[in-house]
Amino acid sequence: MLRLSPLLTASALLVLLLLSALLSIMMGAMPLPALDSLLSVIDAMAGSTFSRLLDYQQAVVMELRVPRILLALAIGAILAQCGTVMQGLFRNPLADPGIIGVSSGAAVGAVIAIVWLPASIASWSVPVAAFVAGLGATLLVYGLSQTRSGTSVLVLLLAGVALSAFAGAAIGFVSYFASDENLRALSLWQMGSLAGSNTHRILLAVCTLILLSIAFQRRANALNALLLGESDARHLGINVERLKLELIVLTAIGVGVAVACSGIIGFIGLVVPHIVRMATGPNHKTLLPLAALCGALLLLIADLFSRLSVQPAELPVGLVTALMGAPFFLIMLIQQRRRWDS
Amino acid sequence: MLFIQNLHVYSDKKVLLNVDQIQLQSGDVMGVLGPNGAGKSTLFKAITGDIQSQGDVTLHNRSRKAWAHQALARHLGVLAQASQLSFPFHAQEVVALGLTPLSLSHKEGWKQIKRLMARTDCLHLAERSYTSLSGGERQRVQLARVLLQLSQAEHAPLLLLDEPTSAQDLGQQHSILDLARQLAKEEGYGVLVILHDLNQALQYCDLCILLDRGEVALQGKPAEILTPDTIEHHWQYRPEQVSLNNGQPILI
């Protein structure tokens, strides 16, 4: 199959990313001129006064749109890389970061925080509870999958399914006792949103993205070898058990931070690695950074769509990614089925 | 180079493997023979550490467990019967995975990849997607990968081949076994090869071990242990034995 050059693909993605970022700055409930919007960002960074935007327009750019763009880029890149790693670890292109129970666990944590903890501390209690519960759920699933001969991928998957079912019941149970107001907050949180972007969240997401990208890239060759199967990877000198634990914990941290910052945003981690793999091949050395770029782009576009589609209100971005991703997932399944048939 | 003593593998208190002693010298090709379920693959897994075992497996006078992961990978290569790889790597990228335990420059690495792909007769497949290859082609690509991983060994490498001929056509079966023999005789490899075709064992192996129900039933030169009587005893089939002009026995 014909492959695109990774360098060319990265350049194309970067150009699209810059264009989408510019569109995201300009467009919204209050449309702004392109050049002045761009200049106002330069003004804010360089301390110059080129932009002719009014103060309140500049505030819209720098306090609402730019933080949101930064959060979208970081979360999209984190989710896409985590998805890539999970698909490599499970040697299955249909795997998703949620497979290890992190999303379900995080959802339970967030629901408990929304319903049972005081609303006055919700701005930090919800993300913290989501992160802690997500990581806890992953470690529980991982612990259950340990057998005498190492980690059983089958048990890990089944434990993830069981935990998700349990989490669904727990969320239902807590929701039953929630007030109407809490119920709305809860359902919106589960649909994911980038509207709560603030400096803390951006810093957290960007730092996590940088650390994860470095950690994943250092393990890219080992991940490639892991695609041969665990035995073959072990015969190539890789400490497979340690690698699996590291990848699972890193992914849990990545998805935990993403969920904590923006609620549950599905399908980016599933769809993006698949698209990039089809375009440039399965080598994780190039797949990981390209997936990061593509994930950032896709979430930025999804967020733009979520802001523009029902103006002046906005759709939860998790809904938009699911609407875009679910049909794609079905197409992938049908293709896979054809391969099995043949 | 390889010394195995008192090697036991248990599963739920059932003994899967019970080997007193196996010794393989550098430069020898040793066939591992036996009926289905005799413990041939279990022996390989116990040697590589893929399953838990008790006893000693020593490679170059050092216990396998004492070897560092990467150093062991440069001295012990395993060609499995089939690979789990289902992602569309190009064949040459699969071979390049053999560089994992090595520290070769990019240029030298690719030189070795091409050389070994030519040696295992798969260079013409270099740019093909691995998933589109036939079973036999995949096996040859994997063999090139394993040979690459062993190409920088400081001591004579040990090569384990688990039914390397199972997916090959007649010509390729012989060229793979020829290659195994060449590696042993010219480069000092120790080769342990699981075979079902006893004539191939007679033709290519210096020594054979015959496993049955997890134990070494016979050990020695192939012509000495592969007689119609022993074959009937272990496989419940009595072949006829004839000799070629050069004295080589053939089982029919």
- B73 to A1: CB separation less than 8 angstroms, yes or no: no
Considering the domain architecture, whether residues B51 and B162 belong to the same structural domain is answered as: yes
Q: Looking at the predicted structure, is the pLDDT value of residue B234 above 80?
A: yes
How many CA atoms lie within 13 Å of B118's alpha carbon, on the beta-carbon side? Answer: 6
Confirm whether B65 is domain-assigned: no
pLDDT of residue A340: 61
Residues B163, B243 within the same domain: yes
Contact residues, B window 137-166, toward A, CB-based 8 Å cutoff: 149
For residue A45, CA distances in Å to A140, A291, B69 come to: 45, 28, 49
Residue A273 lies in a domain: yes
Contact yes or no for B218/B210 (Cβ under 8 A): yes
pLDDT above 90 coverage of chain B, percent: 72
Contacts of B48 in chain A (CB under 8 A): 231, 234-235
Asked if A336 has any chain B CB less than 8 Å from its own CB, the reply is no
Q: Which of residues 130-189 of A touch B (CB under 8 A)?
A: 148-149
- Which DSSP helix (H) or strand (E) runs through A134? helix A122-144
pLDDT of residue A1: 62
Tell me: do B32 and B114 sit in the same domain.
Answer: no
Burial of A49 (0-12, 13-18, 19+ CB in 10 A): exposed
Domain that holds residue A315: 6-341
Query: Do B87 and A277 count as a contact with CB atoms less than 8 A apart?
Result: yes
Q: Dig out the tokens for B15 from the structure.
A: 């003994």
Quote the number of domains for chain A: 1
pLDDT tens digits, one per residue of B58-86: 999 999 999 999 999 999 999 998 887 88
- Please report the pLDDT score of residue A149 as a whole number: 64
Residues B36 and B161 in one domain: yes
Say whether both B87 and B150 belong to one domain.
yes
Same domain (yes/no): B163, B52: yes
What value of ipTM does the predicted structure carry?
A: 0.92
The reply to whether residue B70 touches residue A225, judged by beta carbons under 8 angstroms, is: no
Q: Which helix (H) or strand (E) holds A212?
A: helix A199-218
> What is the average per-residue pLDDT within B124-133?
93
B246 and B165 share one domain: yes
pLDDT digits (tens, 9 = 90+) for A127-145: 788 888 988 888 888 888 8
Q: Structural domain tally of chain B?
A: 2
Q: What is the nearest CA distance from B77 to chain A, expressed in angstroms?
A: 7
Q: Are residues B28 and B54 in the same domain?
A: yes
- CA A121 to CA A126: how far, in whole Å? 8
Q: Assess if residue A32 is contained within a domain.
A: yes
Residues of chain A found within 8 Å of residue B70, distances taken between Cβ atoms: 237
C-beta atoms of A227 and B93 within 8 A: no
Identify all chain B residues contacting A93, using CB atoms and an 8 Å cutoff.
87
CATH number of the domain bearing residue B172: 3.40.50.300
Specify if A1 maps to a domain: no
CATH number, position A33? 1.10.3470.10
Interface test with B, best of A228, A234, A241, A284 (most B CBs within 10 A): A228
Q: By CA distance, what is B52's nearest residue in A?
A: A149
| Last residue of one domain, picked from the residues B124, B154, B184 | B154
Residue B112 confidence (pLDDT) above 90: yes
**Sole residue written with tokens 């048990």:** A155
At A224 the pLDDT is 96
Residue A197 has φ and ψ, to the nearest 5°, of -65, 130
Contact A93 B48 (CB under 8 A): no
| Mean of the per-residue pLDDT values of chain B | 92
Token pair of A316, please? 């939860």
Whether residue A253 lies inside any domain: the answer is yes
Q: Averaging pLDDT over each range in A210-214, A253-257, B40-44, B137-141, which range is the top one?
A: A210-214
Low-confidence ranges of chain A (pLDDT < 50): none
**CB contact A338 to B (< 8 Å):** no
What is the model's pLDDT at position B89?
A: 94
Does B68 map to a domain? no
At residue B215's C-alpha, the angle toward residues B210 and B217, to 5°, is 40
Q: Which sign, positive or negative, has the C-alpha torsion A91, A95, A98, A101? A: negative
Domain assignment present for residue B75? The answer is: no
Regarding whether B121 and B52 lie in a shared domain, the answer is: no
Other Cβ atoms closer than 10 A to A99: 24
- Does the pLDDT value for residue B144 go beyond 90? yes
B54 closest CA partner among B14, B22, B17: B17
pLDDT band at B8 (very low <50, low <70, confident <90, very high): very high
- One domain for residues B150 and B175: no
Rounded Cα distance between A78 and A73, Å, is 9
Domain region containing B101: 83-154
pLDDT recorded at residue A119: 77
Q: Which residues of A touch B101 (CB under 8 A)?
A: 236-237
Does residue A38 lie within any of the structural domains?
Answer: yes
Q: Average of pLDDT values for B139-145?
A: 95
pLDDT for position A143: 85
CB contact under 8 A, B69 and A239: yes
Task: Kindly determine whether residue B50 and residue A148, on different chains, have CB atoms separated by under 8 Å.
Answer: no
Residues B166, B239: one domain? yes
- Is A238 within 8 Å of chain B by CB? yes
Q: Å from A278 to nearest chain B CA?
A: 9
Answer whether A237 sits within 8 Å of B74, measured CB to CB.
Answer: yes
User: Between chains, do B87 and A228 touch, taking CB under 8 Å as contact?
Assistant: no
CB distance A235–B77 less than 8 Å? yes
CB A94 within 8 A of CB A273: no
**For residue B74, is it within any domain?**
no
- Specify the amino acid at residue A310: V
Nearest CA in chain A to B81: A232
Together in a domain, B146 and B161? no
Identify the band that residue B43 occupies on the pLDDT scale cut at 50, 70 and 90: very high
A326 touches chain B (CB under 8 A): no
pLDDT digits over A231-284, tens only?
A: 999 999 999 989 998 998 899 889 988 988 888 898 899 899 999 998 999 999
C-alpha span between B34 and B242 (Å, rounded): 21
What count of other Cβ atoms lies within 10 Å of the Cβ of residue A203? 12
